[in-house]
Amino acid sequence: MGLFDEPLSEIAAWRERRQREGRLRMIPHDPSAVWPLGSSLVLREDTALELGATGRSSLSLLLWTEREDLVPKNTVGLLGAELSAEQGGRPSPLPFAQLVLVRGAFPDEYDAYRDLRDVVYETRARGVSTRVWPDRLQLWSRVSRQALEEGFTLASLGNTYISRLLEEEGVQAAQVLFVLGEQAELDLLRPAAEKARDVVDALIKMYEEMNFDCESCEYLEVCDEVAELRRIRDRLKEERDGGNSGGGPFPGRRDPD
């Protein structure tokens, strides 16, 4: 199994249920319907809508897999109300989830995480200010009045993410799922997201600390449950101990920022 196959399978099952119920609208990726990039600073006085924020009212996740059944097509999924100029001026943030799912072939798991993360975090949609806290699975977005008046939608944002992700080497497909204004749905998705976060945290720790004293590691249980993490651990341990012949301790992998 891949690193995220278990949480992705749970998300895929949720996606299929909501599609059957007619609540999740799946829209094919349209490269001509991307939102322009530009200034993403949105001041409070220019804000029409706030999405997410801290606490359980937001959910942000980025996962990847090689399995076509988990990320079958380039699509944007929308559950809940779509954004519109008429919604402007709501007094408090709306519950908001953004799930970015990528399919592809990536020779190095750590580089895959960094590259895909950078694409998403560095996509600065014009008139949309976003802060992300990956370790807390949270994001907070402000949408300006001007962006709404000019036709900004979550579908256009999803198309933008997908177009940029497809430019990355190894990416074969991408899907972006948005949930707006549905706190109960965020709560249903959170357990799968927390599993995925623990896997990412364990992966980062292994690559950046290169300490394989598993008995003292807080991610011991995670690695015991995810076979792919154990495979990565064994490979990195061999590299650290000089088991590779590529001319350096970690050939083909970029150093941490």
Q: Which fold has domain 5-194?
A: 3.30.1650
The tens digit of pLDDT for each residue in 181-224 reads 999 999 999 999 999 999 999 888 888 887 777 777 888 888 88
Question: Helix, strand or coil for residue 38?
Answer: coil
Percent of the chain predicted with pLDDT > 90? 63
pLDDT at 254 over 50: no
The tens digit of pLDDT for each residue in 49-84 reads 999 987 889 999 999 999 999 999 999 999 998 786
User: What integer is the mean pLDDT of 151-157?
Assistant: 95
C-alpha span between 100 and 165 (Å, rounded): 10
- Name the H helices within the chain: 5-20, 109-121, 145-149, 154-165, 183-209, 220-225, 227-240
Q: pLDDT band for position 1 (50/70/90)?
A: low
Q: What is the pTM of this model?
A: 0.88
The tens digit of pLDDT for each residue in 91-105 reads 578 999 999 999 999
Pairing of strands 96-104, 171-180: antiparallel
Q: 109, 125 in Cβ contact below 8 A?
A: no
Percent of the chain predicted with pLDDT > 70? 91
Q: 161, 120 in Cβ contact below 8 A?
A: yes
List the end-to-end C-alpha distance of the chain, in Å, as a whole number.
29
Task: Write down the pLDDT at residue 230.
Answer: 87
pLDDT at 250 over 70: no
What are 162's two structure tokens?
A: 């997908």
